[in-house]
Amino acid sequence: MNELENSFYVFHTFLTPLHRLFTGDASFHTQDRRMNDHPSSPKPREPVPVAVVGQFSWGLTILFVLASTCWVLLPYTGYLFSALVFLMAIVLAGTRWNRGPVLAMGVVSALVWNFIFIPPQFTLHIEKPQDIIMFAMFFVVALSMGHLITRLREREAALEQHHAEREQLLEAKHRAELLAESERLHRTLLDSVSHELKTPIAIIRTALDGLGQGNAYAAEIETANRRLQRIVENFLEMTRVESEALKPRPDWCEISDVLHAATTPLQKELSQHLLRLSGTDDLPLMMLDSRLLAQVLGNVLHNATLYAPAGTEIEIHAALTKGRLELRVRDHGPGLPLGTEDHVFDKFYRAPDSPAGGTGLGLAIARGLMRAMKGDIEAHNHPEGGAEFLLRVERVFQLVPSGTDSHQTPKTS
C-alpha cells in the first residue's frame, strides 16, 4: 500500500492548502475521514452551505475523496472508471451548486484524471493517442455538463420564482375581488334596507299631503313621520360612515351652495331661529365634497335648533386661512354641560336634559363625515354663552379670486 499512501500524500498536500485557503476550515481532517468511511457513495454530499467559497472547498474535497477511492480501486476497474466517477460528481454538483465551483471541479478533475490515472501516471504527459482524445473529450464533457446543468437549474429557479410571483399576484387579485364583492354586498344590503324603510315613510308623507293642511291629527302624524325619517336616515348614514364605504368626491364648490344645501331640508326647523352669516361672501371657490360638508352643517344646525330657544340667533362664521377652512356655528342656547364637550360626538350620546326626538347620532355622523374629509369637528362653549361648533378642513385647494382664468393653489398649513 505504499503507492496508495504516496498518492494520498500527493492529494493531501495538494488539497489541504487549497481547502484551507478557501474556507479556513480546521475541521477538514475529521470531515475527510468521515467521508472516507463510505468511499463507494457517489454523492457524499449533505445539504451544503450555499456560499460559493464553501462550494469550491467542498468540490475539491469531494474530488479528493473520489480520486482516493478510485486510486484504491484502480487495479480492479482500470483508469476509465475514475473518469465516469468524476463526471457523475460534476453532474450531481451541477444540480445544486453555482456555475463557478462546478466548472472548477471540471477543470481540476480533468487534470487529476490525467495526472494520476492516465498512463504514464504522475505526469501530465499522455502516451496513447486514444487517451489524448479521451482526455480532451472528458474535458469538454465535464465543462459542458457543468455549464448546462447549472444553467438548467438557474432557469428552473427563475421559472419557480416567476411562478411564485404569479401565484402571489393571483392571490392578491382574488383578495381584492373578495373585498369588492363584500363591499358590493354591503351596498346592496344597505340600499335594500334603505328602500324598505323609506318607502312606508314616503307613502305616509304623500297620504298626509292628500289629507291637506289644517287637520291637527294629520299635523301630529307628519311631525312623527319627519322624526321617523330623520332616525332612519341617521341610522343608514351612520352605517355608511362606519363601513367606510363613504368616499369624498371633491369638486369645486361655492360656500353659498353648501349653505343652501344644508339649510333647504331644515327650513321647517330653522323657521323659529334667525340665521346670521358672516365671512361667507369672501370665500373663493374651494375643492370640497360639498354634499358631505352640507350634511355635516345640516346636522350641526339641526342640533342647534333643538337646544337654542326659539327666536334666538344661530350664527355661522366662515374663514379660510392658509388652506384651512373653518366654519363656526354658534347658538345662543344653554351651551354644553361642563365636561361633555367631546362626548357629544359619541354615538348615541344624549345630553342629560336634551329634548326627546334625537337619536344621538347626528353629531357622531358629523364627526365621521368630517374625518372622512380629512378634517374634524369640535365643540365648546362660547365665552359669552351658547355652544359653538368648529368644523375644520385642512389643505383645501382654492381658486385665487383674482380674474376668471385663475390658477389653483395648493395651500398647506
Partner 1 sequence: MSKALIIDDEQQMRRLLRMVLESRGYEVCEAADGQLGLQEAAFQRPDVVLLDLGLPGLGGIDVLKRLREWTDVPVLILSVRDQETVKVEALELGADDYVTKPFGTAELLARLDVIQRRRFTRQSPEIIAGALKLDLLHHEATLADAALKLTPTEFALIKVLAEHAGRIVTQNQIMKQVWAGQSSDPSEGLRVHINHLRKKLGESGPRIVNEPGIGYRLEES
**387 and 336 in contact (C-beta within 8 Å)?**
yes
Tell me: does residue 210 bind partner 1 (CB under 8 A): yes
CA–CA gap between residue 84 and residue 163 (Å, rounded)? 36
The single residue among 52, 132, 261, 372 that binds partner 1, judged by CB under 8 A, is: 261
Tell me: does residue 254 bind partner 1 (CB under 8 A): yes
CA–CA gap between residue 369 and residue 375 (Å, rounded)? 8
The single residue among 12, 252, 350, 390 that binds partner 1, judged by CB under 8 A, is: 252
Residues of this chain, 143-202, that bind partner 1 according to CB under 8 A: 191, 194-195, 198-199, 201-202
The contact pattern for partner 1, residues 343-382, with x = CB under 8 A and - = no contact, is ----------------------------------------
Interacting residues of 16 by C-beta distance below 8 A, sequence separation 6+ = 28
The contact pattern for partner 1, residues 3-42, with x = CB under 8 A and - = no contact, is ----------------------------------------
Closest by alpha carbon to 237, among 326, 325, 298, 179?
298
In 24-128, alpha helices (H) = 28-36, 52-77, 79-94, 99-112
Instruction: Identify which of residues 104 and 255 has a Cβ nearer to partner 1 in the complex.
Output: 255
Tell me: does residue 249 bind partner 1 (CB under 8 A): yes
The single residue among 22, 104, 138, 233 that binds partner 1, judged by CB under 8 A, is: 233
Closest by alpha carbon to 324, among 354, 283, 265, 365?
283
Number of residues that bind partner 1 (CB under 8 A): 36
Instruction: Identify which of residues 108 and 364 has a Cβ nearer to partner 1 in the complex.
Output: 364
Instruction: Identify which of residues 161 and 264 has a Cβ nearer to partner 1 in the complex.
Output: 264
The single residue among 218, 285, 319, 390 that binds partner 1, judged by CB under 8 A, is: 285
Span interacting with partner 1, options 20-28, 110-118, 347-355, 404-412, rule CB under 8 A: 404-412
- First vs last C-alpha separation in the chain: 91
Closest approach of partner 1 to the CB of residue 410, in Å: 14
CA–CA gap between residue 201 and residue 181 (Å, rounded)? 30
**326 and 313 in contact (C-beta within 8 Å)?**
no
Tell me: does residue 209 bind partner 1 (CB under 8 A): yes
CA–CA gap between residue 6 and residue 4 (Å, rounded)? 5
Can you point out the beta strands (E) in 251-399?
Answer: 251-253, 274-278, 286-288, 313-321, 324-331, 375-381, 387-393, 398-399
Query: Distance between alpha carbon 394 and the CA centroid of its chain, in Å?
Result: 26
In the complex, which residues of this chain contact partner 1 (CB under 8 A)? 191, 194-195, 198-199, 201-207, 209-210, 225, 229, 233, 236, 240, 249, 251-254, 257-258, 260-261, 285, 290-291, 294, 399, 404, 406, 408
